[in-house]
Structure 1
């Protein structure tokens, strides 16, 4: 998972999210980006965006790899951690 963002006045001004571990191919989570753009990074905003992401992703079960439920669980944790890291690293808060 990759999250890139810009901060302005304590809000997410621009964001890009790419997800790899969820489905058959990596995808850009554009609906999740829209859910976060223009909002401050609060627990409520992250929770709402995670709901959007989990609906947007097409999780699959693989007999050789992980189940859809496990992938969903992992993506949820990765999303929160990666988003918080991107927020912290985007220090140019204008």
Structure 2
């Protein structure tokens, strides 16, 4: 069984790998770009409603993967995860419409 230290070492190794493969010296630092993009698309609706929907959460994850895919070396999981998050957003959006 893995220990907390094992997970910490694995996380540090993955962060070092991202530093080598992403286009910033500090590695994968895509969250600020993803937040700005998401806010530009959904911010007004969130402010008016006062909360983030499940669908918007999935859409945020899709945007995060798009930002990561635009930085540095090709990583298939950026695109595979983006497809998965888009499908989950579609499923969630359909449920939200059914509830109305």
TM-score category (smaller protein)? 0.3 to 0.5
What TM-score do you get using the length of structure 2 for normalisation? Answer: 0.33
Which structure has greater strand proportion?
1
What TM-score do you get using the length of structure 1 for normalisation? Answer: 0.34
